Amino acid sequence: MRLGPALIQGVSKNSVLVSSVKQYIIIRRTKYQEAQILEFDDFGKALVLDGYIQSTEFDEFMYHESLVHPAMVAHPRPENVLIIGGGEGATLREVLKHNVVKKAVMVDIDGELVELAKEYLGFMHQGSFNDSRAEVIIEDGLKYVEKAPKNFFDVVVLDLTDPYGPEIGRLLYSTEFYAKVKTLIKTPGIVVTQAGNSFFFPEVYEDVLNSMKRNFSVVREYWTWIPSFGYACNFIVGSDGLDPRALTESKVNETLKLRGVATRYYDGRQHEAFFKNKVVVGVRKG
Ligand code: SAM
């Protein structure tokens, strides 16, 4: 193999993934994190924050579809949706695909990052920031949940930096935070969070899972292999009434069709697989 200029990104505390870089597009230290937008040979254009890949052109659909649709489909009519994080706008894009959505509020702490995404990551947001149903709020999610409308949102999607990643995101994986998020949900609502990687960071993962379990009576785990991350990304869903595991392949496909949702990766078959597959929690210290 021949490797030209390359980016070394952390996969765990002790392992890295090295990928050759075609071009660096922009490197900017925002108030909150170091953002790099670059182009990989294998993954196309990508967003990297503090040395960790967040999403890439060639596999972002696997991450964003997996994060958004299981919870959205499990809700009978998700009209009001809250996204916390999700700076690239791709999570917003996936939420807005459901034609029943009336309002999607996205709250990200980093306004400079959102502006960079608007300018350089058009293939991720695909115009979602300009959708009349979208509202983008630049604020710390921790503060937003204190004053957001209670009993309003049907679905909450937490698309934050990893629970073991930059300091700014870590508190948004706690029992206390989920308790506040719960007050914003209209019954029967549902919350989903990305949860980093359970193999390399088992203790952090178990903490996130337990924080969800302390707040919700139905908690389900699933994962998707993300090639550019070098690991399977974990997701956790919590609800007090809705259970995505109960949905059949045909029900999921029917709901996607009725709501006009076109996907590349997620469908009824993938949904059933999500909730049948085991989650592997690593044995080493996280
Ligand atoms: N795909 C992802 C990954 O691999 O970790 C997460 C994607 S997304 C880029 C993460 C976003 O979370 C960033 O835009 C970051 O600014 C935002 N974020 C981190 N902490 C936050 C907080 N306290 N409140 C709101 N947004 C936050």
HEC sequence for 234-251: EEEEEECCCCHHHCCHHH
Q: What is the CA(87)–ligand 1 centre distance, in A? A: 6
Assess whether the C-beta atom of 117 lies below 6 angstroms from ligand 1. Answer: no
Domains of the chain: 6-56 (2.30.140.10), 60-276 (3.40.50.150)
What pLDDT was estimated at residue 286?
44
Question: Which of 94, 110, 115, 167 gets mutated to test ligand 1 (max ligand atoms within 8 A of its CB)?
Answer: 110
In tens, the pLDDT along 133-173 reads 999 999 999 999 999 999 999 999 999 999 998 889 999 99
What pLDDT was estimated at residue 284?
59
What pLDDT was estimated at residue 251?
98
Residue of 154, 159, 162, 207 marked active site: 159
Local structure of residue 32 (DSSP, 8 states): S
Assess whether the C-beta atom of 113 lies below 6 angstroms from ligand 1. Answer: yes
What pLDDT was estimated at residue 1?
67
Provide, rounded to the nearest whole percent, the portion of the chain with pLDDT above 90: 88
Name the pLDDT band for 282 (thresholds 50, 70, 90): confident
Assess whether the C-beta atom of 62 lies below 6 angstroms from ligand 1. Answer: no
What pLDDT was estimated at residue 134?
98
* 159 counts as catalytic: yes
- pTM score of the predicted model: 0.97
Average pLDDT over residues 67-85: 98
Give the chain's mean pLDDT. 95
Residue 125 is labelled as binding a ligand = no
Parallel, antiparallel or unpaired: strands 44-49 and 16-29: unpaired
Q: What is the CA(160)–ligand 1 centre distance, in A? A: 3
